[in-house]
Amino acid sequence: MGTRFTVKDFIFLLIFVVLVVLAGFTLESYNYLSHQVAGLRGDLQNLDAEQTTQLYLLKKIQRDGLRLQSGGSFSTPSTSPAPRGTTDAATAPTTADIRTTLPDGARYVMFPNPPLPPYNPYSQPNFAFGDWLVESLSSEPNRIMPFVPQSESAAAIQASVLESLLVRNPLTLKFDPWLARSYRVSKNGLKITFTLRRRARFSNGRPVTAQDVVFSYHTVMNPKVNCAAVRSYYVDIKSCRALSAYQVVFKLRQPYFKTLGVVGGLSIIPRSVYNFPNMADFNNHGKLLVGSGPYVLKRWSAGQQIVLTRNARYWGPRPIFNRIVYRFITNPQASLQSMLAGQIDVDALEPSQWVKYHAQPAFLKHFTTYKYLSPSAGYSFICWNLNQPWFKDRATRTALAMLVNQAAMIKTYLHSLAVQVTGPFNPISPQNNKLVHPIAYNPHAARVLLRKAGWTKASDGILTRGKIKFRFSLTIPSQFPLGKRMAEYIKEQFSRAGIDMQISPLDFTTMLQKINHRHFDAVMLGWSGSLETDPYQIWYSGSYKHEGSNAGDFNNPLADKLILEGRRTLNYKKRMHIWHRLQAVIYRQQPYLFLFTQYDLIAINKRIANTRPYPVFGISSADWFVPRALQKYH
Distance in Å, CB of 480 to another protein, minimum: 9
- Asked whether position 350 contacts another protein by CB under 8 A, the answer is yes
Amino acid sitting at position 434: K
- Asked whether position 502 contacts another protein by CB under 8 A, the answer is yes
**DSSP, residue by residue, 412-478:** HHSTT-EEE-SSSS-TTSTT--TT-PPPPP-HHHHHHHHHHTT-EE-TTSSEEETTEESEEEEEEET
- Asked whether position 72 contacts another protein by CB under 8 A, the answer is no
Among 294, 316, 319, 498, binds another protein (CB under 8 A): 498
- Asked whether position 620 contacts another protein by CB under 8 A, the answer is no
- Asked whether position 304 contacts another protein by CB under 8 A, the answer is no
Cα first-last separation, the chain: 77
Stretch that binds another protein, among 153-161, 238-246, 329-337, 555-563 (CB under 8 A): 329-337
Among 224, 298, 313, 485, binds another protein (CB under 8 A): 485
Stretch that binds another protein, among 114-122, 196-204, 349-357, 520-528 (CB under 8 A): 349-357
Burial class (CB in 10 A: 0-12, 13-18, 19+), 130: middle
Distance in Å, CB of 301 to another protein, minimum: 18
Which SS3 state, helix, strand or coil, does residue 18 take? helix
- Asked whether position 328 contacts another protein by CB under 8 A, the answer is no
Distance in Å, CB of 153 to another protein, minimum: 18
Stretch that binds another protein, among 232-240, 326-334, 367-375, 578-586 (CB under 8 A): 326-334
Residue with Cβ nearer another protein (18 or 334): 334
Residue with Cβ nearer another protein (340 or 585): 340
Among 460, 466, 629, 634, binds another protein (CB under 8 A): 460
Check: CB of residue 178 under 8 Å from CB of residue 164: yes
Task: Please state, in angstroms and rounded to a whole number, the distance separating the CA atoms of residues 282 and 70.
Answer: 46
**Which x/- pattern over 461-480 shows residues binding another protein (rule: CB under 8 A)?**
xx---------------xx-
Number of residues that bind another protein (CB under 8 A): 44
- Give me the numbers of helices (H) and strands (E) for the chain, helices first please: 17, 28
- Asked whether position 518 contacts another protein by CB under 8 A, the answer is no
Residue with Cβ nearer another protein (454 or 481): 481
- Asked whether position 515 contacts another protein by CB under 8 A, the answer is no
- Cross-strand bridge partners of residue 100: 108
CB-side exposure of 426: number of CA atoms within 13 Å?
23
Distance in Å, CB of 408 to another protein, minimum: 4
Task: Please state, in angstroms and rounded to a whole number, the distance separating the CA atoms of residues 148 and 226.
Answer: 6
- Asked whether position 371 contacts another protein by CB under 8 A, the answer is no
Burial class (CB in 10 A: 0-12, 13-18, 19+), 171: middle
| CA distances from residue 618 to 6, 116, 506, 601, 615 in whole angstroms, order as listed | 83, 17, 31, 11, 6
In this structure, what DSSP letter does residue 69 have? P
| CA distances from residue 391 to 20, 396, 489, 535 in whole angstroms, order as listed | 75, 7, 20, 21
- Asked whether position 482 contacts another protein by CB under 8 A, the answer is yes
Distance in Å, CB of 440 to another protein, minimum: 14
Distance in Å, CB of 226 to another protein, minimum: 21
Residue with Cβ nearer another protein (478 or 528): 478
Among 186, 275, 495, 631, binds another protein (CB under 8 A): 495
In sequence order, which residues have a C-beta less than 8 Å from that of residue 29 and are 6 or more positions away? none
- Asked whether position 331 contacts another protein by CB under 8 A, the answer is yes
Among 52, 69, 239, 333, binds another protein (CB under 8 A): 333
Name the residue among 329, 318, 220, 205 with its Cα closest to residue 268. 220
Distance in Å, CB of 225 to another protein, minimum: 26
In this structure, what DSSP letter does residue 343 have? S
- Asked whether position 519 contacts another protein by CB under 8 A, the answer is no
Residue with Cβ nearer another protein (475 or 589): 475
Name the residue among 611, 605, 609 with its Cα closest to residue 628. 609
**Which x/- pattern over 399-418 shows residues binding another protein (rule: CB under 8 A)?**
------x--xx-xx------
- Asked whether position 491 contacts another protein by CB under 8 A, the answer is yes
Task: Please state, in angstroms and rounded to a whole number, the distance separating the CA atoms of residues 456 and 217.
Answer: 53
Check: CB of residue 310 under 8 Å from CB of residue 321: yes
Task: Please state, in angstroms and rounded to a whole number, the distance separating the CA atoms of residues 75 and 59.
Answer: 17
Among 504, 516, 555, 620, binds another protein (CB under 8 A): 504
Q: Where are the beta strands (DSSP E) in 332-399?
A: 346-348, 367-372, 379-384
**Can you give the binding site for another protein, defined by CB under 8 A?**
331-333, 336, 350, 352-353, 356-357, 405, 408-409, 411-412, 459-462, 478-479, 481-482, 484-485, 487-489, 491-492, 494-500, 502-507, 509-510
